Amino acid sequence: MHFRASSVLLSPMDMFDDLLTSYLERTCDMEPALLQRINRETYLRETAPHMLSGHYQGRLLAFLSKLVSPTQILEVGTFTGYATLCLAEGLAAGGEIHTIDNNVELEDRVRDYFAQSDFNENIHYHLGDAAAIIPTIAGPLDLVFIDADKKNNGIYYELALEKSRTGGLILIDNVLWKGKAVKGASDNQTQQITALNDQLANDERIDKLILPVRDGLFLLRKR
């Protein structure tokens, strides 16, 4: 008996349900204690806690960073600093991570989290307009994580690509957009995301691959 692949495989939107997520989290490395605290406090205190990368995606970010062993990391979208600390785990000796956000209300708490980590001296926390700040950061960049306002992802990508070394890795989050990008939803934000996805799929300057992790993570390698 033969089955069409689409009839037996989970769709990207279904892959990371609660049951599977729980299993994946049990079979990957544990969150360090500080990250557990950030995770818990973000869900207790923030109105949009789902913006946090979380246990499984955080371990993925740390894993990729350790593979790259970057000297220079750029993160666009700090939020409460969870992903920042995950990415910092892979820094080469003396490496730096520049993280940018525009939410000044979170500044004190985020700086406190960083101060409690092993990476405080390696982190440069910028507040302001990422499109204006990225050009001021010295390259070449080895690893970039873009997880901020989606309408400007294309701008951040171009600025980051220009500063990235050959072989550098760029990650863009939320590219499946709760499955709306796959389904072809017509709302403005989904169309912005799918337009960039299509642009990246045809960009010959990079190798590219979407991982259906949580809300979709685009992996891009500069050729």
Phi/psi of residue 143, nearest 5 degrees: -150, 135
pLDDT given at position 16: 55
Helix or strand (DSSP H, E) at 194: helix 188-201
pLDDT of 21 strictly over 90: no
pLDDT of 141 strictly over 90: yes
The whole domain housing 107 covers 5-222
- For 59-81, write each residue's pLDDT tens digit: 999 999 999 999 999 999 999 99
Phi/psi of residue 195, nearest 5 degrees: -65, -40
pLDDT given at position 5: 40
As a whole number, mean pLDDT of residues 123-149 equals 97
- For 75-98, write each residue's pLDDT tens digit: 999 999 999 999 999 999 999 999
- State the CATH number of the domain containing residue 192: 3.40.50.150
- What's the total number of domains in the chain? 1
As a whole number, mean pLDDT of residues 33-56 equals 96
Indicate left, alpha or beta for 100 from its phi (over 0: left) and psi (-120 to 50: alpha).
Answer: beta
Return the percentage of the chain with pLDDT > 70, whole number.
Answer: 93
Secondary structure of residue 118 in the 3-state scheme: coil
